[in-house]
Amino acid sequence: MGPTKVLVVDDSIVFREMLVQNLIKDPAIQIVATAGDAFAARDAILAHHPDVMTLDIELPRMNGIEFLRKLMPQYPQRTVVISSLSDKVFDALNAGAVDFVAKPAVSNRAQLEDFVKNDLLVKVKIAAAAQIGNVRKTAMVQEQSHLSVNKSNLIVAIGASTGGTEAILSVVKEFGTDIPGIVAVQHMPPGFTKMYAKRLNDNCRIQVKEAETGDRVMPGRMLIAPGGDRHMRLVKVSGEYRVDIKPGPKVNGHCPSVDVLFDSVAKTAGADAVGIILTGMGGDGAKGLLAMRRAGARTIGQDESTCIVYGMPKVAYDLGAVERQDKLSDIAGRTYTLLNKM
């Protein structure tokens, strides 16, 4: 297997060349072309057939989001977006980008080298393995499910990584306000989780917010762990579920970690929980989901055919943590089915 062929698209000549110089230090990467705008990028895609494109959102003549919307239907392209702190990144993911990295405020060469090595290069390699045919599959309209049990102690826990922003939206938008309290970890850089929570809140019937320590987990509400250097855990205080968010070392290379959340759900909610593991690279969440299942919880894994990256759900399934695998469009309904049996 040869090196990953990469197209670098950025309107800044200086930043573009600095990216190229640092990416080619990895022998597994081959830069096949660079482009300063969407039109040059399109020509480069047709000429060089790159495996992955890195794309700046702010481009002259046509921005990166509009470019993706026009490009993807005809020429599906694994894309990693490089974005400053802006909710536009979620429009890019919705348009078909596989993942994104936060654009650094680079003040010296060492910082850029660190950004490429520890952020961009990792995402490029993950994107190279992504199943982009699964990025946009329009689900059939599902008949609305409802909760038929009246138990206040039920919990839904969700974990996701690459491809997860759109996958979580696909699931959560099907939930009504009767859904038990939801706690979720989506691997994401600091600052973006608050904007992501707002985006979900604006597009779903349930309330969604970035979690803060002490927030109550209640029906019709989802709490998303903040990106950064803190883990989120489920705790019980005076008989009520709440979240506790504290700094800690990375687990499975991530902070917040899905495993940390799922482990806490296993200990705190036991058999009164449903665990859902969605698309993502690596194995974060697999052991925690197994702990949940062993504690009596019901567990769901996204199937390979609808995953952008069938990593986390596969590791969990191979470990015996997943009770059943479902297509993304069926997970919300399955969640209600399992909850109604509790």
Report the C-alpha gap between 156 and 154 in whole angstroms: 7
Residue among 10, 170, 187, 231 flagged as catalytic: 187
Known catalytic membership, residue 187: yes
Name the amino acid, one letter, at 233. Answer: R
Known catalytic membership, residue 114: no
Cα 332 to chain centroid distance, Å, stands at: 17
Report how far apart the first and last C-alpha atoms of the chain are (Å, whole number): 49
**What is the 8-class DSSP label of residue 309?**
S
Stated as kind and residue range, the H or E segment containing 237 is strand 230-237
Residue among 37, 83, 91, 161 flagged as catalytic: 161
Q: Could you give the maximum distance between any two Cα atoms of the chain, in Å?
A: 64
Cα 102 to chain centroid distance, Å, stands at: 14
Phi-psi bin for 120: left (phi > 0), alpha (psi -120 to 50), beta?
A: alpha
User: CA geometry: angle at 27 spanning 75 and 58, to 5°?
Assistant: 45
Q: Distance of CA 17 to CAs 79, 103, 107, 289, 328, Å?
A: 18, 15, 16, 43, 39
In this structure, are residues 295 and 322 in contact, taking their beta carbons and an 8 Å threshold?
A: no
Report the C-alpha gap between 56 and 9 in whole angstroms: 6
Residue among 10, 51, 119, 284 flagged as catalytic: 284
Known catalytic membership, residue 330: no
Active-site amino acid positions: 161, 187, 284
